[in-house]
């Protein structure tokens, strides 16, 4: 495994011949088990919301008991990597009960794309339900294929909604400003565009492009398959994404920046063709950290709690093909370094910090990974 820090920071490269797995410093408790789970969110009363890609949103009691699927969830286009994806709570969920869902949505002539909808959750009855559901964002344009929707979501401390929009396994979208695929997007809670986004004046500055496009939504571009978003203790936004054959990336996000894909990557094409590395094109932002062989990141959190006090401020990454949880220390200067890797024996799809500082972990449901919801607490 090769880990490279950002060369612009003049830091030395770290090279490891093989992953060094650390002894588990936590106790693993199984909470429940699901059919192709993708995301988990904790409600203020301690109950959990879990999405299953086939289209189910399920409430899990503190004892692990599952509700009937929540009604009112939008129809999803299930298949490949598509289906129901992320679930996040509105910052004022305790007052308004609003839940945000991302999912793959069908288009015309076999096309599809990611979408985000929100609705009000009533979790009080025997059959929980979403009402007043409205779609607030869509990937544009809809494309053929079943991969790289990304559609992770995050609310920041100022109430802005961030959405990761994957490249849909195409080589044109990430650098195409007339598409919002291969981009990181910043919106208001209702899907409208903040006036201070970096490309709100793109049309007036580039009059040959179409009027009324998706440019104002875009915060950064040149991304591939963005599957983890998290704010650090200083409020900086970090993003983790899958590279091609090598070159998974951890990026510190900057306003209006271009991260280079597919013009550059520290991986190569799957057919063996070489891609220029980031250090050949200084106009593109380089990753703070990259992995070859890949870890296949599925999600990321930056730890804020006290239960794992030594991890405070570190990135905790869900690894799919690596079947691991990876801990990365983040530097004040924008550097990043992998410091521990924990062998979980299963593909890890999602990680979320709970209110008590424990870590909620969702296994993938593929092969010998059984779709379990786990809770990690410090080992005694």
Pairing of strands 183-187, 161-165: antiparallel
Query: Which of 148, 151, 223, 278 does the annotation list as catalytic?
Result: 148
125: Cβ contacts below 8 Å, ≥ 6 apart: none
DSSP state of 74: P
Is 108 exposed, middle or buried (CB count within 10 Å of its CB: 0-12, 13-18, 19+)?
exposed
CA distance 346 to 242: 18
Long-range CB contact pairs, 143-146, < 8 A, 24+: 143/111, 143/112, 143/113, 143/168, 143/170, 143/173, 143/181, 144/110, 144/111, 144/112, 145/80, 145/112, 145/169, 145/170, 146/79, 146/80, 146/81, 146/82, 146/104, 146/112
Count of residues making up the chain: 380
Q: How is 148-167 classified by DSSP, letter by letter?
A: --EEEEEE-TTSPEEEEE--
200: Cβ contacts below 8 Å, ≥ 6 apart: 193, 215, 216
40: Cβ contacts below 8 Å, ≥ 6 apart: 48, 49, 50, 51, 87, 350, 352, 360, 362, 373
Place of tokens 């990430």: 174
69: Cβ contacts below 8 Å, ≥ 6 apart: 56, 57, 58
Is position 90 annotated as part of the catalytic site? no
* Active site residues per annotation: 148
């Amino acid at each position: 495994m090769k880990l490279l820090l950002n060369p612009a920071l003049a830091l030395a490269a770290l090279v490891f011949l093989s992953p060094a797995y650390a002894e588990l410093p936590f106790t693993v408790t199984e909470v429940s088990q699901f059919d192709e789970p993708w995301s988990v969110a904790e409600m203020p009363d301690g109950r959990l919301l879990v999405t299953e890609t086939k289209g189910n949103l399920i409430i899990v009691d503190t004892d692990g008991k599952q509700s009937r699927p929540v009604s009112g969830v939008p129809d999803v286009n299930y298949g490949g990597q598509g289906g129901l994806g992320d679930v996040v709570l509105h910052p004022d969920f305790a007052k308004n009960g609003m839940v945000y869902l991302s999912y793959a949505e069908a288009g015309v002539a076999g096309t599809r794309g990611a979408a985000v909808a929100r609705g009000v959750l009533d979790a009080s009855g025997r059959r929980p339900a979403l009402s007043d559901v409205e779609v607030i964002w869509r990937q544009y344009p809809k494309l053929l294929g079943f991969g790289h929707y990304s559609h992770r979501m995050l609310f920041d401390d100022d109430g802005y909604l961030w959405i990761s929009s994957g490249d849909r396994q195409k080589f044109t979208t990430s650098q195409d400003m007339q598409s919002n695929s291969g981009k990181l997007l910043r919106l208001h809670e209702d899907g409208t565009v903040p006036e201070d986004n970096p490309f709100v004046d793109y049309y007036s500055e580039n009059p040959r492009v179409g009027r009324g496009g998706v440019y104002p939504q875009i915060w950064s571009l040149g991304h591939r398959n963005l599957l983890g978003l998290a704010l650090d203790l200083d409020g900086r936004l970090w993003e983790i994404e899958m590279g091609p054959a090598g070159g998974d990336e951890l990026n510190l996000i900057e306003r209006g920046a271009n991260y280079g894909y597919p013009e550059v990557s520290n991986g190569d094409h799957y057919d063996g063709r070489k891609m220029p590395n980031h250090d050949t094109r200084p106009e593109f932002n380089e990753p703070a950290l990259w992995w070859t062989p890949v870890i296949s990141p599925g999600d990321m959190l930056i730890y804020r709690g006290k239960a794992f006090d030594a991890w405070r401020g570190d990135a905790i990454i869900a690894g799919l093909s690596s079947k691991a949880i990876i801990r990365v220390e983040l530097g004040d200067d924008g550097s990043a370094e992998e410091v521990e890797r924990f062998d979980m024996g299963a593909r890890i799809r999602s990680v979320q910090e709970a209110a008590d500082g424990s870590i909620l972990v969702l296994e993938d449901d593929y092969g010998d990974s059984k779709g379990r919801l786990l809770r990690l607490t410090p080992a005694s």
